[in-house]
A and B are shown apart, each in its own frame.
Chain A
Amino acid sequence: MATMLAIHTEALTRDFNGTCAVDGLNLAVAPGIVYGLLGPAGSGKSTIVRLLLGLLEPTSGSAQVLGFDARTNGHAIRARSGVVLQSPGLYTRLSVEENLNLFGRIWRLPASERATRTRELLTHFCLWERRKEAVSQLSRGLQQRLAIARSFLARPALLLLDQPTASLDPTTAELLRLDLAALVAEEGVTVLLTTENPSEAEQMCDRLAALRAGRVVAEGLPGDLLHAGAKMRLEIVGRGFTVDMVALVARRREVSAVHPMGERLWIDLEAGACAAPLVNLLVESGAEVEEVLHHQSVLETICAEAQQAAP
């Protein structure tokens, strides 16, 4: 079974001076799909990409990528993979065409194939007319398009996209996602996409894992994770949440769990439950409620929790 998978990790762990960036990660990515890793900053997404490419050694556990062990055969994995990192990482003094030509040489593509592939990809990403311009003349969005074109150049078996639309404005990001999705479908490549954006994950991915502090906390089809009606969560921001109050709320029939966290109260609700009676109950019991946030999914909750944890 393991050899059939494009990516297979078992208890993959990586520590940085005692801080666990990736904690016992178990992933099974089938070939030909777009697999998403969704999590907030610091959840270990970029570390996972480096571990899978064999650029970082795991502290423990194992990772098989395209049938190669990432610890001992990283070179073979990198030779078969395309990568886009958060920053485009382009040679800005060189022209658009020279950048692709350079990476074509790195991947040892024959000159004729380099030229054909360059034309194909630059045309797809609307950069053909600007091929002679220095990369420094391009906008950030166009640079990221070029970085994505570069990752497709050698027709890789696996594409690792580490937050490719981060730091782009929403319109540019959306256009890039559409272009990327079209090309992924056309080339039939396996993709591992990391993102902090739930809607991007839903739009792009066939399967999704939600990460928190280096661990997978939920895994499944994006629709199931993002719109599962069974569990909804309320985040109530305020003061004066006492133990008695928490117990009172927890006894309600529509409430499945209550988690006090400082000046916040996280309340898991059953499907179809309303927030208003609970808020009234808290206010009548003496709590000062400042804000009530309604999270529709596990994933949004993770992102919200992480934002609060950030300094």
Chain B
Amino acid sequence: MNTGMWGDLWTVVRKEWLEWFATRSARVEIVGAILIFGVLAPLTAGLFWAESLRVQWLWIWLPLFVSIGPIADTFAGERERDTLDVLRASRLSERAIVLGKVVAAAAYGWGILLICLLVGRLTVSILSGSLAHFQGLPELGLLVALGLLAAGFTATAGVLISLCAPTVRQAQQGMTIVMLIMSLLTILLSERLAATLPVAFGAGMLLAIVDLGLLGVLLVVCRRSAWLAH
């Protein structure tokens, strides 16, 4: 990838973020998610929230539900508003458009997730009067890395769904189903996943492979420009 391609990618990422943060309702939604997942839930669950790796596994997925709306909008929304045609008729390559949207979506979801994790740990620390919950760096590091992979999965799967869906509503429905399946799988497997760090690491690797596979599918699909145009 040359510097020009990086510049194009950043232009698309910037455009997506500008659009997502342009409305007040989007900003309120983010603040609401941080309050619910970062303050309210840890307050309700207490110390268990920070100490159980099992709970943290599940917590990786929940804040990502907030990103369903913006991600579903990436292609389906642009198609509905006739802006996709203009973007395709510009000098941007299809690869820059697709990758830019994936990076914007992944960073958005991961950003919200990190804020929720940090605020949550802070809430629990205030609750317990100790900063002990910021220790245990391997676990925390693993959660941050797993969060990135989960956000990457949400972004690639979501952008792919949005690319193929005829409307934003259908893209949102498709994404909600995928996210529910991932959350349920996590609940079902959480005991095993949380047993030891190597197992959790292995699960993370598996998720990384799935992410890369989805990205590959996405790039292959985007080469067939008819999919972009519908």
Contacts and interface: CB of A to CB of B under 8 A. Distances in A.
The finding on whether chains A and B are genuine partners in a shared complex, rather than unrelated, reads: yes
Interface stretch (A101-109, A287-295, A301-309): A101-109
Given A53-B89, A78-B90, A78-B91, A105 B14 contact: yes
Contact of B83 (A53, A83, A91): A91
Contacts of A53: 89
Contact of B86 (A79, A89, A93): A89
Contact of A83 (B7, B8, B19, B86): B86
B94 to A, nearest CB: 9
Contact of A98 (B11, B18, B23): B18
A105 B11 contact: yes
A134 B24 CA distance: 13
A87 B14 contact: no
A138 B179 CA distance: 38
Interface string A262-303: 000000000000000000000000000000000000000000
Contacts of B82: 85, 87-89
A55 B93 CA distance: 11
Contact of B23 (A89, A93, A107): A93
A89 B81 contact: yes
A92 B14 CA distance: 16
A94 interface: yes
Nearest to B21: A93
Contacts of A107: 90-91
Nearest to B15: A102
A144 B91 CA distance: 21
B35 interface: no
Interface residues of B, number: 23
Interface in B154-175: none
B107 to A, nearest CB: 18
A305 to B, nearest CB: 29
B88 to A, nearest CB: 6
Contacts of A88: 82
Given A81-B89, A91-B18, 19 more contacts: A55-B89, A55-B229, A75-B93, A78-B90, A78-B91, A85-B86, A85-B89, A87-B85, A89-B81, A92-B81, A93-B22, A93-B23, A94-B22, A102-B14, A102-B15, A105-B11, A106-B92, A108-B4, A108-B7
4 nearest A-B residue pairs (beta carbon)? A89-B86, A79-B91, A87-B82, A93-B22
B225 interface: yes
Nearest to A150: B86
Nearest to B91: A79
Contacts of A92: 81
A85 B85 CA distance: 8
B22 A90 contact: no
B214 to A, nearest CB: 25
Which applies to chain B's interface (DSSP): helix, strand, loop or mixed? Answer: helix
5 contacts: A55-B229, A89-B81, A91-B19, A105-B14, A107-B91
Interface residues of A, number: 25
Contacts of B88: 55
Nearest to B10: A105
Interface in B211-227: 225
**Which of B82, B83, B91, B225 gathers the greatest number of chain A CB atoms within 10 Å?**
B91
A4 B101 CA distance: 39
A107 B92 CA distance: 8
Nearest to B225: A55
Contacts of B89: 53, 55, 78, 81, 83, 85
Nearest to B26: A93
Interface string B56-85: 000000000000000000000000011101
Contacts of A55: 88-89, 225, 229
Interface string B16-31: 0011001100000000
A94 B7 contact: no
Nearest to B8: A106
Contacts of A75: 91, 93
A102 B83 contact: no
A306 B201 CA distance: 66
Nearest to A102: B15
Contacts of A85: 82, 85-86, 89
Contacts of B7: 108
Interface in B187-230: 225, 229
